[in-house]
Chain A
Amino acid sequence: MGKADIQTGRLSPEEISNNFSDMHPPLSRPEALIEADRCYFCYDAPCTTACPTRIDIPGFIQKIRSDNLRGSAHTILRENIMGGMCARVCPTEVLCEEACVRNVHEDKPVNIGLLQRYATDPVFEQNLNLFERAADTGKRIAVVGGGPAGLSCAHRLATLGHQVVVFNRDRKLGGLNEYGIAAYKTVNDFAQQEVNWILDIGGIEVRPNTSMGVDITLEAIREEYDAVFLAFGLGGVNKLGLANEDADGVLNAVDYIATLRQSENKDDLPVGRHVVVIGGGMTAIDIAVQSKRLGSEVVEIVYRRGPEQMGASQYEREYAQTSGVTIRHWASPVKLLVSDRVTGIEFERTELDANGKLQSTGDTWSLNADIVFKAVGQAVASDVFGDAADSFEQKGGKLLVGDDRKTSLPDVWAGGDCIYGSDDLTVTAVQDGKVAANSINRYLRLQE
């Protein structure tokens, strides 16, 4: 098992293109009307309660039934400005669709995700303006991070008439929508289409390639702006903590996915014959499935606990399995096997002790691997605050915020993956940005 097995373009361009086509093709009008008819129009609907952004789901579905798609899209987007992306990437099976009352008597929820996509697709295809910007307030807000939280906050603030400057580390806006989500969930450059539509509201200036802690400091922007929203996500990647972690073939899943997402034809990436993924979250699933689709022959996810403890939902796990990925549980990596590059990885079996604490059984086994992906979580980048790190209350290496997403500093709010309690979901980040923007608006109005 040597380097010869790592190659690009193992599959033909046509095969790769097919493998990365839309995961859930959109509904046709007849399909959407029939599916919309299945909605009971619940009172105080459980699906809405289950939605982190509180979209009035029965309301938007009712508008699909009456062919009022513009109204339907407005109902969605006024609560969740990234309702288009969320329709594609939300784990609806553990959110709105899990709460659908149809589960109780027929075990088949209304397909809310695809209906949401049906309602919102025309907005982006036709670039419809659904929101108007209020008169300029003269207030200026700095938003650090152009991912879902940052853009959600920026759009809401701009709508309310404030001026917003978005500082973005990367060249393109969108954050994980652009660089992180599995390619087959958001085809045809949808992330950028959505970003452009959001910016169309006006009043948002974007400064790309600008990193907090490197190009700008918190102190300086607090000085210059009336308020600050921090949404720089998790720039750091957790390590396995094993020897030889920098060996050839041992890769960070998030870095590989970012490269994959930016690759034009996806035929220029190293593809292993035997891929092992360490981790149990969405990133592990995404890298495993995408590796399979790029032509890897054997792809195995190894997670140190059982299926119930995995961050990835049952639906996602089954999606990986039906895509040809093997998921192994109760094993923790202990040694990377390396010659001139990685050749395998050794695991120890794990179990829960009487107190429910994970422990090793001492039993070991190993897998061959020519590529090992690390997908064991991310952390706030260590240098992001520079000298200002101590000025925040933090927990678990993340920023501590209140219900209004305000940090311990009077003029600084935060949201998205960098706050304590975040759950790695686009929809939650969008809600953070929205809530923070409303809170910032109240704060600024009170100052007048």
Chain B
Amino acid sequence: MANLTSEFLGVTTPNPFWLASAPATDKAYNVNRAFEAGWGGAVWKTLGEDPPIVNVSGPRYGAIHSNERRVIGFNNIELITDRPLQVNLDDIRQLKKDWPDRAIFVSVMFPMNEETWAKYVPMIEDTGADGFELNFGCPHGMTERGMGAAVGQVPEYIKLATEWCKKYAKTPVIVKLTPNVTNILPPAIAAREGGADAVSLINTVNSIMRVNYDTLEMYPATDGMGSHGGYCGQAVKPIALHMVAEIARTKQTAEMPISGIGGIADWRDAVDFLALGASNLQVCTAAMVYGFKIIDDLSDGLSNFLDDKGMSSVSELVGKAVPSVTDWQYLNLNYVEKAVIDQDLCIKCGRCHIVCEDASHQAITKTVNGERRFEIIDEECIGCNLCTIVCPVDGCITMQPMTEGVDPRTGIAISKEKADWTTHANNPMRKES
């Protein structure tokens, strides 16, 4: 079995799965249960100044369900910890003593003045915690007070606050980034310039879940009114993966360790984040909707996967897929794929036909010689992949590369040479090759 022991910022944990800063890490009781279940570490629920903030006493969460009531997307309007600072510090100190082999980083959120950071950072570090995570990500509530994503959306603020924290901290500092920006790179670069040891991403996405169909008020609501919350869960994973990959493949940020967050629910999600450049993983929503036991499949599945790949440690997987991420302009325009339908597997639902007919290129038959039969018309197939996506039978429709001959759609011979947009004749800004 592959060893999942992982090192992140000099802290070694039994596996790379840490609980993200969230309600599940607000108390010693919860975190103790998580460590008993096997989690490698926890980022403590965000601490702020005393006196603590207050939360609403109504619904803090909303969700998008499948018809089987699986939670696909999740959102929250909970603020940072509403417990007194000292209570949290005592909990952290005790837990760190009880679980020396697990990581405890402490999430913090302070206003934009140096004195506050100078006051609280040493106090928190004194608990024996392994480091800090700066919450520049929460998009709701605290942003109205100039904190959370309000900082994370302004690179200059990120740099400044990171510098303050680094100035008073001896332990490593992670900057947690908000996805509520158009380009993740400037905030990541600012964190690096401020001296951050790592970045973690993504925090939650600005969101309103839906309206109440009876009252036509937004839902969930507190006494008839609602406020936007942070969206997370499996639905946001693709957003997170893109941002992680951008940081991992960009020169100015590539060296910075990444803790990947956003929709990790099973081991395959972990593989996605690790291969795209994260070397540590944080999980919240899956634990919130299933409990801590999911760590079994996360670690067991990841370990089995590494075995199958002949890898002996997590670090071998980190960044493996990063070189395969590029700009659109560098994609090989000479490469041609066609869909192929395995008639032995086809159950004749016709989904591929109707989506190709209505939404793509009319490249799939519905009848052949009067019989209900779905076949690819190579002369029309653009290789878009829509049919394989809608097909309910796994493996029935596959995309097959053309390696020789002539593409019957374009009449152009298949070329082994690569050619991308940068040199394409239709590109007015093409480079002369």
Contacts and interface: CB of A to CB of B under 8 A. Distances in A.
B347 A102 contact: yes
B344 to A, nearest CB: 11
B424 interface: no
Contact of A105 (B68, B347, B350, B354): B347
B365 to A, nearest CB: 12
Contacts of A41: 351
Contacts, number: 39
B293 interface: no
Interface string A97-126: 000011011000000000000000000000
Contacts of B392: 40
B67 A34 contact: yes
Interface in B359-406: 366, 372, 392-393
B349 interface: yes
B69 A30 contact: yes
Interface residues of B, number: 16
Contacts of A33: 67-68
Interface string B116-130: 000000000000000
Contacts of A101: 347-349
B176 interface: no
A289 to B, nearest CB: 34
Interface residues of A, number: 17
Contact of B353 (A30, A43, A46): A43
Among B348, B349, B351, B393, max chain A CB count under 10 A is at B349
A70 to B, nearest CB: 14
B207 to A, nearest CB: 21
B66 interface: yes
A44 interface: yes
Nearest to B355: A43
A42 B67 contact: no
Contacts of B66: 37
Contacts of A102: 347
A104 B372 CA distance: 14
Contact of B354 (A34, A36, A37, A43): A43
Nearest to A36: B67
Interface in B304-357: 345, 347-351, 353-354
Among A43, A46, A105, max chain B CB count under 10 A is at A43
A41 B354 CA distance: 10
Interface in B53-103: 66-69
B67 A43 contact: no
B351 A37 contact: no
Interface string A42-59: 111110000000000000
A65 B392 CA distance: 18
A30 B67 CA distance: 8
A41 B391 CA distance: 11
B366 A44 contact: yes
A41 B352 CA distance: 11
Contacts of A40: 349, 351, 392
Interface string A289-306: 000000000000000000
Interface string A131-155: 0000000000000000000000000
A34 B69 CA distance: 9
A46 B69 contact: no
A30 B70 CA distance: 12
A239 to B, nearest CB: 45
A105 B348 contact: no
B393 A105 contact: yes
Contacts of B69: 30
A37 B348 contact: no
Given A43-B354, A105-B393, A37 B67 contact: yes
Contact of B348 (A34, A36, A46, A65): A46
Contact of B350 (A30, A43, A104): A43
Nearest to A66: B67
Among A34, A45, A101, max chain B CB count under 10 A is at A101
Interface in B129-158: none
Interface of B: 66-69, 345, 347-351, 353-354, 366, 372, 392-393
Interface of A: 30, 33-34, 36-37, 40-46, 65, 101-102, 104-105
Q: Kindly list the 7 A-B residue pairs having the minimum CB-CB distance in the complex, ordered from nearest.
A: A43-B350, A43-B354, A104-B347, A33-B67, A101-B347, A42-B349, A37-B67
9 contacts: A34-B67, A34-B68, A40-B351, A44-B366, A46-B372, A65-B67, A101-B347, A101-B349, A104-B348
Given A37-B66, A45-B350, 4 more contacts: A37-B67, A40-B349, A42-B350, A46-B372
